[in-house]
Amino acid sequence: MGGIPTSSMSDVAFLLLVFFLSTTKFDIKKGLGIVLPPASTKADKRVKLKDENITKVLINKEGEILLKTKDSEEQISMAKLKSRIRTLVKNNPDMVISLKTDRKSKYKYMVMVLDRLQAAGAEKISLSTN
């Protein structure tokens, strides 16, 4: 009884597989280039920061920025953030910037503020979400 020859079907499937694997472009996702400090060897080791060494930068879901220091609290624009942080870090080299974003905030707001903080010379930055 006659039939369809299937002896070369595996060769064709292999060639199609090689063709699609070699012509497919795989997207490479890039993350944030952040250097993290080494992990602590002691789990109970905690550092207590003085209130005057902490500046909080809060971002709401609309992208508005609130800058809170020990003495003041002000809403600030993205344009003025860099110069304000530069002044704070220059006056206090031990300043730690705590960057908090609302869970419903867009990722781009956090990245934009983080870029401005790093450009202003802030090296001690804490990231978190609400």
Which pLDDT does position 129 carry in this prediction? Answer: 61
Confirm whether pTM is higher than 0.85.
Answer: no
Which pLDDT does position 2 carry in this prediction? Answer: 67
Beta-bridge partners for 80: none
Which pLDDT does position 16 carry in this prediction? Answer: 93
Decide which of 30 and 16 is more confident.
16
Q: For each of the domains in the chain, give its residue range(s) and CATH number, in order of start.
A: 51-129 (3.30.420.270)
